Structure 1
Amino acid sequence: MTPPAARSRATGRVTLADVAQAAGVSPITVSRALRGERAVAPDLVARVQAAALKLGYVPDPAARALASRHSTHVAVLIPLLTNALFVDLLESVQLHLRRAGYQTLIGITHYDPSEEEQLLREQLVHRPAGLIVTGFDRHERTRALIEQSGVPCVHVMETSDTPGQYSVGLSQADAGAALTRHLLERGRRRVAFAAAQLDPRVMQRLDGWRRALQAAGLYDARLEWLNPAPSSLALGSRMFEQIMAQKPAVDAIFFCNDDLAQGALLAAARHRIAVPKRVAIAGFNDLTGSDLANPPLTTVRTPRSEIGTVATQMLLRLMRGETVSPTSVDLGFELVVRESS
C-alpha cells in the first residue's frame, strides 16, 4: 500500500492522511478537529491544526461534500458589490453562516439574468447546502435549475405568496407609494420620478409612485425620468440638471436610490437652487452619507442587515429539514423625513 506521504508527493496535494500521520492521530480525528467538533479534546485540536499549518493542508470542499453528503457551502447570488445595499446584506448573511459552520460562495450577477444562470450552474457543481438569491426576476431556465437541484433556497429583498417559495424582504411598491404620499402631503403637486439601473425593485418603486399620484389625480407620465445606466452621484447630478431644465414646473423629485439623490443635492447647490424651497429631493435606501448631506436627505430606510439575518436563519432551518412558516417575511421599511423635503 502506498504510504500517505508518497501519495501527496505524486499528486502534489497534501492529504488528510498526511496531516493525520504528522499529528499522530487518525484521519477521522483530523476531520472532526478541523470541523470544530466539540468532541475532540483541545490538545488534539491544537496538534492537528499545527500539523495542517506546517504541511499547508487545504481541505477539498467538493470531496468533503461527496464523502459526507453534507456540504459546508452556501451559494449567495447578489447583483453588485459596489452598492452598499448589497454589502450590508452580504455581511449579515456571511456572519450568521460562519457562526453556523458554513462558508459563502458569492456570485455577482450584474443584474444580468444570463450571467446569473451561468453562475448558478457553476456553483451547483460544488453541491451547496443552500442558496440565497436576490428577487424573483430571472430566466425560466434558472428557476428550473433551482427547483430541480433540490437545494433549499431563500429569496431576498422581495416577498412572494407563491407556494413553495421562501422569501424575506419588503414591498418596494408600498415603500415607493409611502414616500410619494409624503411629498404630496408637503404640498408638492409636480413630483417627478428619476431612476437608474431599472432593475425589478426600482420598477416596483416606480409602480408605487404611479399608484400614489394616480390616487391623488396628479399622475403625469412625462415626469418619469428613466435611465438604464448604473446608479451614481454623477448620474444623479446630470439627471437633476436635465429635469430642472426641461421640466421647470417640477416641485419635487423622487430619486430611486440615495446616490442619485445625493448627486442631485450637489448639483442644486452648484446651481444655487434652493432645496426644499424651490424643489424637494428624496431618495431611497438611506445609504451612508444621506444624513450628512446638505440639506440632510429624506429617504426610505430599508432593513438590509435584518433581511440578511432573517433569510439566513430561514435557510438554516430549511437545510436542517425543519418546517418553516411563514414562508414569506415582510420586514417593512421606515420613512426617514429630513430637511430635503
Structure 2
Amino acid sequence: MKVAKQSSDKKLTLIDVAVAAGVSAITVSRVINQPEKVSEALRQQVQKAIDMLGYIPNQYASSLASSKSKVIGVSIPSLSNVVFTDVLRGVYDVMGTAGYKVLLVDTHYSPLEEEKMIRTLLSQSPEGLIITGGDQTRTCHNLLQKSRVPVVQIMELLNEPLDMNIGFSHWQAGYDVVTHLMEEGYERIGFIAARMDPRAQQRMLGFKKALENAGKSWKNFIVTTPEPSSIAVGGELFKSLLASTDGTVDAVFCVNDDLALGALFESQRMNINVPGDLAICGFNDIEASRFVNPSLTSVQVNRYEMGVKAAEMIIDRLNGKMDQPKVVDMGYQIKRRQSSTNR
C-alpha cells in the first residue's frame, strides 16, 4: 500500500485515500457510499487506507451526490426521562445496524419548541422522522406533511396520524388500572399526576370514565401539578390527595412510577399500610418498581420494542415496502404486584 506524503496543514482528500489504497478515486467513493457494490477484499483494502490516514469522509458532499443523507431525525420531549431512553435504545440499535445516523432533538414538552426543532431536523435533509405523540402545532403539522419524508409518531395511538403511528391507548390503560383496583376491592380511588402532557391527560380521562361507569365519583379525588415529575413531587401530591379527600382514599393511581414511589414512601412515613389500607399503582414499570418493598404495581409498556419497530417502519418505507401496517398497537400489561394485590 502506497503512503502519500502529507503536509501537517493539508486536509486529506478522497484522492489521498485512493493513492494510498492503490485504487481509483471512484472506487474509494463507491466503498464509502455504496459498499454493497464492491467486494469484501476491496472494502478492506480501502478501509485500511482510510484508517491509516485518519480520513473522515465528507458526508455532506456524499449526500449531495447521492441525494441521500442517511440521517434519521428523532424528536422526543425529554432526554432525562428513562421512558424515552428505552425507546431511543431501540431506534439506535436498528438504525446503526442499517447504516443510518440518528439526529436527536429535545422539545421539553413544548409544542412551540417542537415546531422549532422540527425545522432544524428538516434543514438537515433527513430521510425519515420519528416524533413523539400527536400534539404538534398546525404549522409543524404542515411542515411535516410538505416534507414528503416518512414520519412515525410514537408513544400513543392517534385517530388521525400524519403518516405512520405506533403506540398504545393511554385512555384504555387508565381505565383498566381503575378496573383492576376495583376488582381488588378498593372503592375510593384517587389520581395524582404531574406535568400533564397529552398522554397523562388521556390516562386521567380513562380513570374518570372507569369510575363514572362504576357509579363512583372522582370529585376531589384528582390532584395534579404542572411541575415535572419526581419522587418528591409524588409525596407532596399524595399528601394533597389525602387532604382533599379527608383521608378517605383507599387507592391511588399515579400517572408514572416516580410519583408512585413518592406516594409509597410518604405512606410509609405516615404509617399507612400498603396494600392493607391503601393500594398504589404506577405507570411505565421502571426497574425500581420491582425492588421496592412492597413491590409496586405498574403498567408495563414495551418501550424498547416500540423504538425498534418505529425504526423498522421507517427503513421498510425507504426500501419501498408499502404494504406494511401504518398503525401498530404495541399494547400494555398491568404488572400486578404487592402494592395492590395482597389486601
**TM-score, normalized by length of structure 2?**
0.92
Q: Is the contact between residue 157 and residue 165 of structure 2 (CA under 8 Å) also seen in structure 1?
A: yes
Question: 1:314 corresponds to which residue?
Answer: 313
Question: Aligned to 1:126, which of 118, 124, 127?
Answer: 124
Percent of aligned positions that are identical: 41
The 5 A counterparts of 1:203-282 are 203-247=201-245, 248-282=247-281
Aligned residue number for residue 67 of structure 1? 65
Which deviates more, 246-255 or 48-57? 48-57
Shift of 1:125: 1.6
SS at match of 1:340: helix
Q: In the TM superposition, what are the counterparts of 1:51-200 in structure 2 within 5 Å?
A: 51-162=49-160, 165-200=163-198
Distance 1:7 1:70 in 2: 33
- Rate the CA distance shift 1:106–1:8 in 2: closer, same or farther, 3 A: farther
CA RMSD of aligned residues (A): 2.1
The whole-number CA distance in structure 2 between the counterparts of 1:336 and 1:33 is 49
Q: Partners of 1:322 and 1:339 in 2: how far apart? A: 46
Give the structure 2 partner of residue 295 of structure 1. 294
Aligned mates of 1:103, 1:6 — CA distance in 2:
30
Segments of 4+ in structure 1 off by > 6 A?
4-8
> How many angstroms does 1:139 deviate by?
0.9
Q: Aligned residues, how many? A: 336
Q: Which one is further off, 85-94 or 63-72?
A: 63-72
Letter in 1 for 2:292: A
**DSSP 3-state at the match of 2:35:** coil
Instruction: Find the partner of 2:48 among 47, 50, 59.
Output: 50
CA drift of 1:267 comes to 1.5
Point out where structure 2 has 5 or more consecutive residues left out of the alignment: none
**Residue aligned with 1:183, SS:** helix
Q: Which stretch shifts more, 313-322 or 30-39? A: 30-39
- 8 A Cα contact 1:161 1:328, kept in partner: no
| Cα offset, 1:56, TM superposition | 3.0
Letter in 1 for 2:79: L
Letter in 1 for 2:336: V
Task: Assess if the C-alpha contact under 8 Å between 2:155 and 2:166 holds in 1.
Answer: yes
Q: Which moves more between the two structures, 48-57 or 182-191?
A: 48-57
Question: Alpha-carbon deviation of 1:339?
Answer: 0.7
Structure 1: 5+ residue stretches without partners: none
C-alpha deviation, 1:305, in angstroms: 1.3
Q: Is the 8 A contact 1:65 1:127 kept in 2?
A: no
CA deviation vs aligned residue, 1:238-286 (integer Å, no higher than 9, x gap): 2122222442111111000011101211122222211111211100011
Query: Residues of 2 paired with 1:221 and 1:138: CA distance?
Result: 31
